[in-house]
């Protein structure tokens, strides 16, 4: 199994729907850069977000620490992406790993760099396909993602994936 690197989006969404445990079951360990930790945990706690506290507790419990990324390739550093996205792509490249990212521009850049990319919904579908979660739990997660105003994943994508899986 290749190393897995996560950007902030999947960590935040999985914390919001109480599904962080899937990361450990699917990937063993997930790496994340300091910029992602700053965004998802430090700034999140400062702003009073419950999911930031949930994520912080999970990371402490698992002993997962942020990775310092000192070397961002020039062609990535120059792009209009945020710090966490640039660092996540650079870390995934250095580890030759799978990148978990929801943000479309970042995903496109990562794919152009030859990385395999999976979003939050892809993580949930993978957990279903590996029978870690049953169909009903996948539906519940997708319904929660669709209904929450603080999750920016297109609801039509949730419905399309459920349809493709024959679950709708």
Q: What domains can you pick out in the chain, each with its CATH number?
A: 4-122 (3.40.50.1010)
CA of residue 149 relative to chain centroid, distance = 18
% of the chain beyond a pLDDT of 70: 100
Contacts 24+ apart (CB under 8 A), 50-53: 51/12, 51/15, 51/16, 52/12, 52/15
Judged by DSSP in three states, 49 sits in coil
Are 2 and 98 contacting, i.e. CB atoms less than 8 angstroms apart? yes
Q: Extract the residue ranges of the chain whose pLDDT is less than 70.
A: none
- Tell me if the pTM is above 0.75: yes
For 129, counting Cβ atoms within 10 Å of its Cβ (0-12 exposed, 13-18 middle, 19+ buried), the class is exposed
């Amino acid at each position: 199994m290749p190393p897995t690197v996560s950007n902030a989006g999947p960590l935040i969404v999985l914390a919001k729907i109480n599904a962080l445990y899937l990361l450990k079951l699917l990937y063993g360990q997930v790496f994340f850069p300091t910029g992602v930790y700053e965004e998802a945990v430090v700034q999140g706690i400062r702003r009073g977000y419950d999911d930031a506290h949930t994520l912080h507790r999970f990371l402490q419990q698992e002993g997962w620490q942020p990775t310092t990324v000192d070397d961002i390739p020039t062609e990535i550093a120059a792009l209009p992406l945020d710090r966490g996205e640039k660092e996540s792509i650079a870390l995934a490249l250095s580890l030759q790993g799978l990148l978990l990212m929801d943000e479309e521009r970042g995903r496109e850049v990562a794919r152009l760099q030859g990385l395999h990319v999976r979003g939050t919904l892809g993580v949930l579908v993978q957990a279903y396909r590996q029978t870690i979660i049953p169909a009903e739990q996948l539906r519940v997660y997708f319904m929660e993602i669709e209904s929450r105003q603080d999750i920016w994943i297109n609801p039509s994508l949730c419905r399309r994936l459920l349809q493709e899986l024959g679950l709708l």
